[in-house]
A and B are shown apart, each in its own frame.
Chain A
């Protein structure tokens, strides 16, 4: 596979070399990642520009996924949009319905670049694919959630990392008994972990129509599933003092509380693996494990979180060719290794994964443990319910959930009431979305 990529790149470079030697073709790429991760994205651009002399990619950071999408829309309306945009997982339905993109599968085929799309992990590819299975956007930074735990605290309490949520409660009690002063579980409400990935791992629906994949008239269902029981358990652990709310507004967030050795457990993205390493106090002995599952449920794959690269419509063929070259460049195993080394993100296809296995990438800290995220993503073949989420206005729906769950934790209402209200309000967002695209179908 490595040679295929390389020879294809050489072939296209020599082909174009004759016609394009005099000036470089410039094209723009807007990315949402900010801070350190944004700097690494900019590095991939520099590496691409250094690796060839046909194209020049101009990378513009937009400081935030939401900004990247909003600014792209504004620019698109003024016909000043970039060729490539990094758009987050939750914005997938919005971009798909716009119709103003150039499917990457189509683009690669048009430019004669061979890519083995089956090579991409299904838990990642399905998130960005049409109902036909055609991949519309190029998976880029990809992560999945993990349970981070403190090995020493677990040893002191004489417990193993729990594989089930049923055992999780006992684990918390054991941790609390062994060390009453310490926060056992640092928690902050997260739809991505508590609702979306939880539902995937349990093979239960977030919304009807197979989480929206089968049509715009979907409705949220999570107030009727095991999710309710789970949230009620979290609330009862909170009331027992086993779980502490740790958010940025209150000082340290859950991740930093874990890294500062204040809490024994936290759930977070594998992309934070590097950050936890950097922020960990000396001697912190920790590892990650897959999310627990409730007894009576069979573990399924989790799905990707992160973003994909979308190619927008209305650009010239030369710009598209440049974008295709860049996407192909990113897909090279050595670039995938560069990306995973610098960030906590995982490789998106099997080739890169195998290449990283070959060099024993995950054998030693700080990278050891990250391979468990791939195990979680590929645990089963995706079912109709574990392909991902295809729901419009999902960012707002996430906010509704957080607002209501906060109200339940504040004691204003019961968890069931809170989730019912969140579902009711989120359904209104779906109706609004379906209204905007009246008469159209999801691709």
Chain B
């Protein structure tokens, strides 16, 4: 059999070039810049860079506020991932069973993903406002039960809900596609053998869904570390008293409000390695338990 290949390599290069250029401009170039700043002292207006080695990293890692920021980021990542994957899975199972109206739901479920994070943040800020929003009715019935403006735990819950709500749509698409690619004959055979809906789900659908599940897990965790800025900025601005000061948001405030470019650059390098490490960890230890069919 003959192998198909491009005779003219420059055509291939030409086709790939725009993509490479985009990756270079929006990823490699800023990353290299951040890497350089992380090891120097970069004044906001530019000028004299001083090479300081790992000093910026030592400074950040010696800061209890930074560790607090890592901690709240982990809480946020865990919270949104569990909520978003759990709900998406339940909804996808329902739609896959073709319950009444599933076609409408299938389309409706995808919409939230198309909404920009700041818009999600603004909508939820209204919903969760203790004085004016939907939650003000709850506050009226039980005074003082909900106050994200002063209570850090409430504020964290609020951004987790908003972040998860947006992510559910994305997860839903993948779960539904995964469920639909499971051969009908398997579930039908199980049904003939007399197993009920729940048993079929536990023993057939979920194990076969594992690869999708793993992929969605990696994406969700990565996403919650890097893509939470819009929601935090519109809903809490990192407050109250730093309770929602996620790592990405801290990079923004230190860099742009504090004009500490080197510190912010060092933090983004740490964040980058953290996300890489998490992904590697997941591939090494979780993927092993997954069987691709």
Q: How far is the CB of A87 from chain B (nearest CB, A)?
A: 12
State the CA gap A197–B258 with chains docked (Å).
22
Q: Given A98-B43, A250-B131, A395-B258, output 18 extra A-B contacts at Cβ < 8 Å.
A: A70-B256, A73-B44, A73-B45, A73-B259, A76-B45, A77-B45, A99-B45, A249-B131, A249-B149, A396-B253, A396-B257, A429-B258, A432-B258, A432-B260, A435-B59, A436-B42, A436-B261, A438-B41
What is the size, in residues, of chain A's interface with B at 8 Å between Cβ atoms? 31
Does A437 interact with chain B (Cβ within 8 Å)?
yes
Report how far A366 CA is from B262 CA in the complex, Å.
Answer: 49
Q: Which of B41, B131, B256, B260 is in CB contact (< 8 Å) with A251?
A: B131
A66-B257, A396-B257, A435-B41 in contact; A99/B47 too (CB < 8 A)?
yes
A18 at the interface (CB under 8 A from B): no
Q: In the complex, what's the smallest C-beta–C-beta distance from B127 to chain A, in angstroms?
A: 15
Q: Which of A125-133, A150-158, A402-410 contacts B (4 or more CB under 8 A)?
A: A402-410
B193 lies within 8 A of chain A by Cβ: no
Known: A393-B260, A396-B257, A396-B258. A403 touches B240 (CB 8 A): yes
Q: Say yes or no: A94 contacts B259, CB within 8 Å.
A: yes
B266 CB, min distance to chain A CBs, angstroms:
12
A-B interface, 10 closest residue pairs, ranked by CB to CB distance from nearest:
A98-B45, A100-B45, A403-B241, A396-B258, A249-B149, A73-B44, A70-B256, A410-B150, A393-B258, A77-B46
Q: B131: which A residues are within 8 A, CB to CB?
A: 249-251
Which B243-269 residues have C-beta < 8 A from chain A? Answer: 253, 256-263
Q: Which residues of B contact A94 (CB under 8 A)?
A: 44, 259
B242 contacts A by Cβ under 8 Å: yes
Contact across chains for B258 and A406 when beta carbons are under 8 A apart = no
Query: A9 interface residue, CB < 8 Å from B?
Result: no
Given A403-B241, A410-B150, A428-B63, residue A436 in contact with residue B257 (CB < 8 A): no
B177, CB-defined interface residue at 8 Å: no
Please give the residue numbers on chain A whose beta carbons come within 8 Å of chain B beta carbons, in ascending order: 66, 70, 73, 76-77, 94, 97-100, 249-251, 393, 395-396, 403-404, 406-407, 410, 425, 428-429, 432-433, 435-439
Complex interface: chain A residues within 8 A of B41 (CB): 435-436, 438
Point out the residues of chain B lying under 8 angstroms from A407, CB to CB.
Answer: 241
| 10-50 of chain B: CB within 8 A of chain A | 41-47, 50
Q: Which of A98, A250, A251, A432 contacts B59 (CB 8 A)?
A: A432
Interface residues of B in 158-191 (CB under 8 A from A): none
How many angstroms from the CA of A184 to the CA of B276 in the assembled complex? 56
Verify if B280 is at the interface (C-beta below 8 Å from A).
no
B259, A406: Cβ atoms under 8 Å? no
Which residues in A have their C-beta under 8 angstroms from that of B50?
438-439
Interchain CA distance A66-B42 in the complex, whole Å? 20
Any A CB within 8 A of the CB of B65: yes
Sample 7 A-B pairs with CB under 8 A, ordered by A number. A70-B257, A76-B46, A98-B45, A396-B258, A432-B263, A436-B44, A436-B262
Tell me which residues across on chain B come within 8 A of A251, comparing CB atoms. Answer: 131-132
Q: Please, how many angstroms separate the alpha-carbon atoms of A251 and B150 in the complex?
A: 15
Shortest Cβ distance from B262 into A: residue:
A436
Give Cα A76 to B50, complex, Å.
20
Within B44-84, which residues are at the interface with A (CB < 8 Å)?
44-47, 50, 59, 63, 65
Chain A residues near B256 (CB-CB < 8 A): 70
Return the contact of A393 from the options B46, B63, B259 (Cβ within 8 A).
B259
- Nearest CB of B to A319, in Å: 18
Question: Is B121 positioned at the interface, with any CB of A under 8 Å from its CB?
Answer: no
- Tell me the B133-153 residues at the A interface (CB within 8 Å): 149-150
Q: Bound state CA distance, A429 and B150, in angstroms?
A: 24
Interface residues of B (CB under 8 A from A): 41-47, 50, 59, 63, 65, 131-132, 149-150, 239-242, 253, 256-263
Residue of B nearest to A69 (CB): B259
Q: Complex: how many Å from CA A435 to CA B253?
A: 18
**How many whole Å from B232's CB to the nearest CB in chain A?**
15
Q: Hey, which chain B residues are within 8 Å of A395, CB to CB? A: 257-258
Residues of A within 8 A of B150 (CB): 406, 410
Residues of A within 8 A of B242 (CB): 403
CA distance A393 to B253 in the complex (A): 11
Q: How far is the CB of B94 from chain A (nearest CB, A)?
A: 38
The answer to whether B259 touches A425 (Cβ under 8 A) is: no
Q: How far is the CA of A410 from the CA of B144 in the complex (A)?
A: 13
Closest to A313 in B: B45
Specify which chain B residues have a CB less than 8 angstroms from the CB of A438 in the assembled complex.
41, 50
Is B63 touching A98 in the complex (CB atoms < 8 A)? Answer: no
A433 to B261, CA, bound (A): 11
A98, A403, A428: the one within 8 Å of B239 (CB): A403
Tell me which residues across on chain B come within 8 A of A428, comparing CB atoms: 63
A393 CB contacts on chain B under 8 angstroms? 258-260
Question: Which residues of chain A come closer than 8 Å to B149, judged between CB atoms?
Answer: 249-250
Cα–Cα, bound, A73→B46 (Å) = 9
Which one of A73, A436, A439 has the greatest number of beta carbons of chain B within 10 Å? A436
In the bound complex, residues from chain B placing their C-beta under 8 Å from that of A70 are: 256-257
A residues in contact with B258, CB < 8 Å: 393, 395-396, 429, 432
Q: Are A98 and B44 in contact (CB under 8 A)?
A: yes
Distance (whole angstroms) from the CB of B75 to the closest CB of chain A:
19
Rounded to whole angstroms, the CA-CA distance of A397 and B149 in the bound complex is 20
Contacts of A410 in B (CB 8 A): 150
Inter-chain CA distance A68–B214, complex, in Å, is 45
CA distance A435 to B41 in the complex (A): 8
Q: Which residues of B contact A66 (CB under 8 A)?
A: 257
Closest to A91 in B: B259
Chain A residues, Cβ within 8 Å of B65: 425
Q: How far is the CB of A137 from chain B (nearest CB, A)?
A: 15
